[in-house]
Structure 1
Amino acid sequence: MTNFARIATLLAALPIWGAGATLVQAADRPPRLVEFQSPLVGGPQALQGYLRLPDGPGPSPAVVLLHGCGGGWRGIDERWGKLLAAWGYVTLTVDSFGTRGITNACTGPPPPTLYDAYRALNFIVGQSSVDPSRVAVMGFSQGAMLALLAVERGEIERSAKEKFRAAIGFYPPCLGLKGNMTVPTLILIGELDDWTPANECRNLAESRDDWGISREKGQGIPIELTVYPGAYHDFDVPHFRTPQKLLGHHLEFNEEARDRSVDAVRKFLYATIGGKEKQP
């Protein structure tokens, strides 16, 4: 039995808050489609996303989820939103493209999504079910870069009133980031990733740029980096059990890497924003 299957079995067996409730019930409930906006961004356009609530009384810790350049926010909610809700976290999976009329942002100029993490954060901390002092951001590929930028010391982080307490990036493009993080940060990436190279994330975590020159060394909170041998881009996406090419890049599901990443995310979130059992 894989780690992922063992975790799912354990979740289904454990009792949780409220008579007769089990952890798996949170994952079984469909998400709620919500709209939100923020004064951080000009214009009237609202964002949308899937909101999931865990079982039991709140307030609970929460996780904002950000998709990559191909969209796929519903898939992220299905893979990670359901699992995190089963663990006891409120989740908000952001759709950065739909209301903007964007279908794909893998080529051409970057989409206007830099502040979307904080737009989502401002919305989610206003929910009575959420503990505003315990919210993390977790992104995938382009969304992982946005998650890291949201907690890197700079204009984006400084301009926000509410703050994230932790960040997780799955296979982010690390080149160009400074690495001066304001909160604990975890990066998970495949050794064979030919779209967002692992070596660039090693340089970031070790305070080097792509020429090996020291940068921001000793500043900020250290980045925790895990590189999975034999894994490519999108290693957590079962849709790519049959490998595919996108814009010349190799996409492939890797069950072992996915299972290890599930365990790493669970431990990291518990260590940084806690879990239900840490409620007063």
Structure 2
Amino acid sequence: MKLAKIAVFTSAFLIGHALACPMARSQSGGTTVELETPLASSHPLQGYLRRSAGTGPSPAVILLHSCNGNWRHIDERWGKRIASWGYATLSVDSFGPRGIKTCRESATNDFHVDAYRALHFLAQHPSIDPARIAAVGFAWGGLSILSAVERGTIERASPDKFRAAVAFYPPCANVKGDLTVPALILIGERDDLNSADECRNMMAGRDGWGISRRKDRDIPIKLVVYPDAYHAFDAPALKTPRDLSGHQFRIQPVGGRASGRGAA
């Protein structure tokens, strides 16, 4: 399974759930934007916005980086690609404005609120259709977006709503509640940082504590497990495998069929 195939699979999900748009091959460059003026928080939030090359209000995708704060790489890897599909994209920088480099340096764990701060920014933008905004997160960012769309106080309090969510290799054990939008989870069977089995348990409505989301809800969730993939399988820089803190990081190899599972 090459990155191109993963991209096609992801695009099919986004097109289906964020509503189809004309498939644009051209795209414009991006600009750095401040997401709140005046600031609604002691921590300002910024991002990199790429507008769709199409005419009229466009669908949009928010991109949430991992715990390593690699938002520029996320924009280069996925922001450009998704913009070429006819979406506007907003790659959120949760760490730079807070003066931190990793999530472990912060005393707060409310970064999933950043997803709604970005959503509110896009929903007010004249070139964006507020009813067609999805979010894609990576690892810790994947957990952030899944947490953001869990049924609960934060989701109910927001006047703006997401249309769909995609999580690449998230720590699924931390997802306990029912989700409110269609979601796609992509993870490698050999991921030794975030377990594919935890995602299977989440899909099945079970975990080690007997507390998890309920099965057979009306909101569809699809889990795709790549049998030969490790953590960060979509990162081109990992063509040469790396071992970080005892965990293996490498790009998805050619070959190996993904196994898919859906829950309604």
The 1:107/1:208 distance shift into structure 2, 3 A limit, reads: farther
TM-score, normalisation: structure 2: 0.83
- Aligned mate of 1:188, from 179, 186, 189: 186
Indicate if the aligned counterparts of 1:232 and 1:251 stay in contact, CA closer than 8 A. Answer: yes
- Aligned mate of 2:152, from 154, 165, 170: 154
Say whether 1:80 aligns with 2:78: yes
Match of 1:116 in 2: 114
| Matching residue's letter, 1:206 | A
Between the aligned partners of 2:66 and 2:37, the Cα distance in structure 1 is 21
- Aligned mate of 2:62, from 64, 86, 98: 64
Between the aligned partners of 2:224 and 2:122, the Cα distance in structure 1 is 29
Between the aligned partners of 1:90 and 1:255, the Cα distance in structure 2 is 29
RMSD: 3.1
Equivalent position SS for 2:143: helix
Say whether 1:242 aligns with 2:236: no
Match of 1:36 in 2: 35
Match of 1:131 in 2: 129
Indicate if the aligned counterparts of 1:4 and 1:259 stay in contact, CA closer than 8 A. Answer: no
Match of 1:228 in 2: 226
Aligned residues: 248
Equivalent position SS for 1:34: strand
Between the aligned partners of 1:61 and 1:104, the Cα distance in structure 2 is 30
Say whether 1:99 aligns with 2:97: yes
Indicate if the aligned counterparts of 1:235 and 1:258 stay in contact, CA closer than 8 A. Answer: no
What is the CA-CA distance between 1:40 and the residue it aligns to? Answer: 10
| Matching residue's letter, 1:143 | G
Indicate if the aligned counterparts of 1:181 and 1:220 stay in contact, CA closer than 8 A. Answer: no
Match of 1:168 in 2: 166
Structure 1 stretches lacking a partner, 5+ long: 9-15, 265-280
The 1:232/1:258 distance shift into structure 2, 3 A limit, reads: same
Equivalent position SS for 1:180: coil
Match of 2:26 in 1: 25
Q: Deviations over 1:116-144 (max 9, x none)?
A: 00000000111111110011011000000
Indicate if the aligned counterparts of 1:68 and 1:139 stay in contact, CA closer than 8 A. Answer: yes
TM-score, normalisation: structure 1: 0.79
Indicate if the aligned counterparts of 2:32 and 2:48 stay in contact, CA closer than 8 A. Answer: yes
Between the aligned partners of 1:3 and 1:242, the Cα distance in structure 2 is 15
What is the CA-CA distance between 1:174 and the residue it aligns to? Answer: 0.7
Structure 2 stretches lacking a partner, 5+ long: 9-20
Indicate if the aligned counterparts of 2:135 and 2:165 stay in contact, CA closer than 8 A. Answer: yes
What is the CA-CA distance between 1:207 and the residue it aligns to? Answer: 1.4
Equivalent position SS for 2:112: coil
Indicate if the aligned counterparts of 1:179 and 1:207 stay in contact, CA closer than 8 A. Answer: no
Indicate if the aligned counterparts of 1:205 and 1:222 stay in contact, CA closer than 8 A. Answer: no
Between the aligned partners of 2:73 and 2:256, the Cα distance in structure 1 is 15
Between the aligned partners of 1:90 and 1:100, the Cα distance in structure 2 is 25
Q: Deviations over 1:213-269 (max 9, x none)?
A: 775233451321000011000000011111112222111011548998xxx9xxxxx
